[in-house]
Structures are given as C-alpha cells and as structure tokens.
Chain A
Amino acid sequence: MSAVATPVETKPVHRPESRRVNHRRRDQIIKWMFMAPAILYVALFFGYPIVQNFLMSFQSYTAETFFTDEAPFIGFDNYVHAFNNPIFGQAMLNTGLFTAGSIAGQFVIGMAIALFFRRRFPLNGLLRSMLLLPWLIPLIVSSAVWQAMLQQEGGIINQFLGIFSIPAVPWLSSPDVALTAVILVNIWIGIPFNVAILYSGLQGIPDELYEAGELDGATGWRSFRYITWPLLRPVVSVVLLLGVVYTLKLLDVILGLTNGGPANSTQTLSTLSYQVSFVEFDFGQGAAFANILIAISLVFAAIYLYTNRRSAQ
C-alpha cells in the first residue's frame, strides 16, 4: 500500500485533514530524530554512570568483583558503613568549611577584580588574560608548587613572613592550620573562573544605566548596590552554583597538598570517596560516598532553580 508504488491511485484518497495529521506526525518524528543524538548521548554518558553508581552503592563491589563478575546486593550496608566511618563526621564538617570558605573567598575577590577591570586603563586586556593563568595550569602542578611554597621551613611564604618577624606558620603540618591553607590555595585557583564569568556579566550591563544613575546621584557604592548587583544577579547565581558543585567534588588539590592529612584534618567527602574506592578498592562504599555528594549537589541545584524562578517572576 505504499504511496510510492501506486501514486496515482492513492492521491485522491488523501483528504486535507488526514494530510495535516500525517504532516504533524511526521514533524513529531523529525523532532524526536533531532533530539535522539542528544538523548542517546545523555543516556549513555550521564544516565548510565549515574544509574550504575546508584546501583553500585547497594552492592558489595570490591577488587574481587573484577575477577568473578559477582557483586551481590547488600542493601544499605555500604551507607551504614559510610555513616559509621570514624571520620565521616569530620569529613562532612571539612567539606562544609572547605566549600563555604573557598566560595566566599573566590567570589568576593573575584567580584572585586572584575569590577576593577571594568575601568578602562592601559594593559587592561593583558592583565586580565594573565589573571587566567592559574586556571590554565594543571591542578596537580599548582598544588605541588603550593606545597613547596607552604613548607614550614624553607617555604617561600614563611620566609617572606619572616621578614616581618612573623614566626613560621605550620601551614600544612598542623591539623589546626592545614584546612585553612588548603582553602587559601583553592581560593587562588578559583579566582580566574569567578573573574571571567563576572566580568562578562558586567559587560552585559549597558553603560547608559550608569550614566542615568549618575545624574540621579547613584555613584560608587550606590551604583553597585542599585544598578550592578540587581542586573548581575542571574550571573552571580550561576557562578555560585557552579562554584559550589565544583568545590564539593574537588579532589586533586587536596590530594596534592596534604593527601587528606595531617591526621585527617583535610579529609573531605570526595577525598574519602577516593580513598575508599581507589586505595581500599571498596567501590561499593566509595559509590555510597559519591552518592551522598551528588545528593548535596542536587540540593544546591534545587536552590538555584528555585531562586531563579522566583527572580524571573
């Protein structure tokens, strides 16, 4: 009954409505075909790992699994073990402090620098691209360099402080200071990202608004408070969300600087997940930690969507 085989016969059968229905269906199919690559891609590279990771957290998935292909389901055992891990509480607290501290520092400094670069001055472009440098260095390299600079004896930072007769700070060797040191390094790493995004956000604010504001007496802080900030809010919320998710899962910087030490004082959920998975080879429990991290990230994503919708209304 194909239209190609008997074109002359079938042609009169087509009534306008049925042709429209046919057309609509064909449009529908074409739409789905266009979406198919994206759907397949997401399903394959995002859906599959997430589902797999979710399932894995309920399995006894260890080194043995690789040899026997057996990963028995063990219910919530992995989560029970994860929560009962002697350093789970500390890792949670560290994750919170690390994320809050890093984001606050990165954002405030990043915003200040972005505002500064809004002014026109010589070498503006060059300096701005120089600022991106920390971002271009592999994290494991920058953490190795920082580790050398933060050495208690002979480290360049303590030598510098010594000029002002400030006693050597045990940056990475004291459990009381190590987390702060790691946060400071991470702030340095995150500034370029914040500057780049915030600066491009600032570019989108039309100059006329400032000129008009100036006529009404809105200069300096007031122009920031009443013009820049409200117009930059969508960008700010994206920067903060990405920053939080990125910082929560950050691993290489901590591994490079302290490997979670001294005495677990810089252990976070992500280092713990790594440790359990790739040092102890208990992938099931590692997956449980990873899922806890994903859940926390989702909370922030939900907050972002909520505030975004509210501001849109």
Chain B
Amino acid sequence: MPRNRKVARTLALLAVPVLLGTAGCSTGPLGSDDPNTLRVVDYYNNEPSNTSIQHALDKCANETGVDLVRNTIPGEALVQKVLQMASSDTLPDLLMLDNPDMAQFASIGGLVPLDKFDVDTQGISENVLDAGSYQGEVYGLAPTVNTISLFYNKDILRKQGIEPPDTWAELKRTAKQLTTKDRYGFAFSGAASYEGTWQFLPFMWSNGGDETNIDSKEVTEALQLLTDMVKAGSVSQSVVNWGQGEVIDRFIGQKAAMVVNGPWNLPRLKAEATFDFGVVPIPVPDPGDTSVAPLGGEVWTVPKTENPDKQAMAAEMIECLNTDENQMAMAKDRLTIPSKPDVAAEYAKQSEAAETFVNQVGGARARTAKLGEDWPATAQAIYTAVQTALTGQASPEVALDRAARTIK
C-alpha cells in the first residue's frame, strides 16, 4: 500500500510538468528569414499546370535573383489556408488567388496594390485587369486566363447534317434534334456551387442581364431558356448535380452531344474522346449579338507582409511571369489563353479551338468587376435560383425574384 502510494505520487508529479510543458510550447515563425528567399503559395497541384508553373517560377526567380519556397495547396483549401496564414503572420510573399476570391482579400486590406511597385501592365487586356482590380486599383495579374465555350460532337452533328448553333433558338432546336433515347442534346453544370453560377453567366450576360439586378427581364429570359430545354427533355434534369467535370464526362461518353466547358479539358478530350469535336462560342439570343462569357483564371498578388523588400521582389516576379514569352509558354503548356491580346492573337493561330477561346476571352467579363467583395453572395443567389427553376420548384421569374430578395 505505501509503496503503491509513493509510485502514484511520483507519477502524478510527473504528469503535471509534462502537460504544462506541451501547452507552453510556442510555435516559431514558419518560412525563411533569408532576405533573398520568397515564399510562394498557389493551388496548381495537377499536371500539366504544376510543372508548367514551377518552370515559369524557376525561370523568373533566376532572372530576379531570388530563391523560392513553393507551397501548393489544393484548390478548395487555399483560401482557408491563406486566412490561417494571415492570422499567424505567415503570409507568403507571392500569392496566387482565383480571380473572384481576390476582391475579398483586397477589400480587407490583405494585399498591396501593384501600382506601388510600378508593375508594368502594358498590353494586358482591360477585362483581365478588371478581374485583378479592386476599387480601381490593380492588385493582381493573370499571365493566362480562361473562359467557357460550347463543345460539340462533330461526328454526331455531321451525321445528322446539323451545324453548331449560333443563337438561342438554334440551340433549343439543335438540342432537341440531337436528343435520342440514350443521349441528351445538350448539357451544362447547374450545380449548387459557384460552378453552377459560372456556367449560367454566359446566358445571362449575352442577353444583357446584369449581376446588380438579377430579377430583371434579361436574366429571367436566360433562365427560361435553360428551364425550357430541361422541360423539353433535351437537357437532363440531373445537371443540377453535375459539376463541370461530370459534364465533360458525359460529353466524352457521348451521353451529351453539346456541352458548356473550358479549355482546361482539351488535353483530356484529345486523349480520351473517340470522336471528332469542335468548339464554338456560346450561343447568343439573336443573330449578331455578342457572346459574353465569364473570365476565369488565377491572379498573382503581393500580400501585405512586414517586409517591403520582399514585396518589391515579389512584384518583380509578377512582372516577369507576364512577359510575352512567359505568357505564351504557360498558355501552351496549360492550354489557357495569354492575357495580352497581342500574345493571344499569336496563340490563336495554333488551332481552331484555341481561336474560339481567344475570341471568347476577348469579350469575357470579370465576375467581381461590378460587385467586388459582394460577388459571392450574389453568386450564391444565382445558383439557388437556377436550381429552383431547373427542378420546377418555381418559375424562373419567381425563383429569381426570391433569390434577389436574399441579397437586397
């Protein structure tokens, strides 16, 4: 008994300092204090982007005379991770952000405007600058951008003697004609996520609709078009569950003859599609209208860190990533579009699909250009309305009216 108690006392005494010790452990600052080392964060964890971006970063680091420590965080976790870094004062020196997320970071003072470092923005198209701007100041630059267009199965259309559609009326008719017992004429993503919104935007914008007024006649007409096609059976109602990846799966599996999607799928299509495919702009309401698609792509930014010297070096890196030569290299590797119209025009020469995407990017619009940090709330309202209408819960008019009331 006494021996037991002694052992017990010793154990209990030992336990306390061990616990206190672990609790008291402090975390030292992460990353490098070396004045010539920049920390880079991006989300390019897939090939070919990963290698292509690494290559471009290495090349620019060499030219700028810095060392890089790159940290790649998968897409969905990036923003959360960067917020954590902000709260622990470990923000990277060079940060990649998906363009619709950038406004929010700029609005809360997390980024330094690139003006401050006289970064050369010469030759970069207006809409790309819009996508990297907040309240008139440029915070981020995208070397290459992307958008969405209409992919069509050339074999199927040729067999039926049908031309790819230019207008809404043609889209409706063609989709109907191409629909068979085991194939839908048309597919798009109507998911309950930003992807659903992103794919609705070309219809809404090409009709003159605007994100500042989502219960307008123009937006309603756009949603009516998609709803009609679901009702007519030429689009599956399952599109409310399909992200863009699932949509392109249906296209590759020839379960959908025409789909809305982006150039990032071109490598996969070339590898897996057993048929000929083409890419045309997303159909417009009336002949002669301009097809306005959303501008996608990632911007490189300089977070507000404690170290102005490193900020300047990061800005130099951004400038380097945007030289004509580097834009072209990344565009070719990743099948995205250079953000300088002159470089893009050169890029367009390589294929028909590239030309379509270059043209569509030219007229594309940045999602945060008008709403800035308020865009996410509107984007959520839009996909909710799309889902409500496509599933027949309410008419497009009522669905959009309800959605508009949630953000006013």
Contacts and interface: CB of A to CB of B under 8 A. Distances in A.
B193 A153 contact: no
Nearest to A26: B9
Interface in A55-76: 62-69
A262 B389 CA distance: 10
Nearest to B82: A66
B13 A262 contact: no
Given A261-B192, A280-B377, A64 B237 contact: no
Given A154-B255, A262-B192, A68 B240 contact: no
B363 interface: no
A30 to B, nearest CB: 6
Given A154-B255, A258-B192, A261-B387, A63 B104 contact: yes
A37 B19 contact: yes
Interface in B223-245: 236-241
B19 A40 contact: yes
Interface string A163-174: 000000010111
A263 B83 contact: no
A67 B236 contact: no
Nearest to B88: A66
Interface residues of A, number: 39
Interface in B376-392: 376-377, 380, 384, 387-388, 390-391
A34 B15 CA distance: 8
A138 interface: no
B240 A173 contact: yes
B108 A64 contact: yes
A281 B83 CA distance: 10
A43 to B, nearest CB: 10
Interface string B199-227: 00000000000000000000000000000
A268 interface: no
A86 B399 CA distance: 13
Nearest to A280: B376
Contact of A68 (B23, B108, B241): B108
A66 B83 contact: yes
Given A262-B391, A263-B387, A279-B376, A173 B15 contact: no
A62 B83 CA distance: 10
A279 B384 CA distance: 14
B238 A151 contact: yes
B23 A175 contact: no
Nearest to B110: A67
A258 B190 CA distance: 12
Nearest to B15: A37
Contact of B238 (A69, A153, A278): A153
Contacts of A279: 376, 380
Contacts of B105: 63
A36 interface: yes
B238 A152 contact: yes
Interface in A265-313: 265, 278-281
B16 interface: yes
A260 interface: yes
Contacts of A262: 192, 240-241, 387, 390-391
A280 B105 CA distance: 13
A261 B403 CA distance: 15
A260 B110 CA distance: 31
Given A30-B12, A67-B110, A263-B391, A147 B376 contact: no
A44 interface: yes
Contact of A40 (B23, B86, B390): B23
B104 A30 contact: no
Nearest to A36: B16
Nearest to B14: A33
A235 to B, nearest CB: 34
B406 interface: yes
A33 B238 contact: no
Given A63-B83, A67-B86, A261 B191 contact: yes
B351 interface: no
Nearest to B196: A261
Nearest to A277: B80
A209 to B, nearest CB: 40
Given A36-B16, A67-B110, A30 B5 contact: yes
B241 A258 contact: yes
A172 B241 contact: yes
Contacts of B23: 40, 44
B85 to A, nearest CB: 8
B267 interface: no
B50 interface: no
B350 interface: no
A280 B388 CA distance: 21
Residue among B80, B87, B108, B182 with most chain A CB within 10 A: B108
A259 interface: yes
A264 interface: yes
B391 to A, nearest CB: 5
B191 A259 contact: yes
Contacts of B110: 67
A63 B402 CA distance: 27
Contact of A173 (B80, B241, B376): B241
B74 interface: no
Given A30-B8, A259-B191, A172 B388 contact: no
B64 interface: no
Contacts of A36: 12, 15-16, 19
B12 A170 contact: no
B274 interface: no
A36 B16 CA distance: 7
A173 B16 CA distance: 56
Contacts of A62: 108
Contact of A30 (B9, B86, B380): B9
13 contacts: A30-B9, A30-B12, A33-B13, A37-B15, A64-B109, A68-B108, A173-B237, A173-B391, A259-B192, A261-B191, A263-B384, A280-B376, A281-B104
Which 8 residue pairs across A and B have the least CB separation, nearest first?
A: A261-B192, A33-B12, A64-B108, A262-B240, A263-B387, A66-B87, A66-B86, A66-B83
Interface of B: 5, 8-9, 12-13, 15-16, 19, 23, 79-80, 83-84, 86-87, 104-105, 108-110, 182, 191-193, 236-241, 255, 304, 376-377, 380, 384, 387-388, 390-391, 393, 402, 405-406
Given A153-B238, A264-B384, 4 more contacts: A34-B15, A65-B87, A154-B255, A263-B387
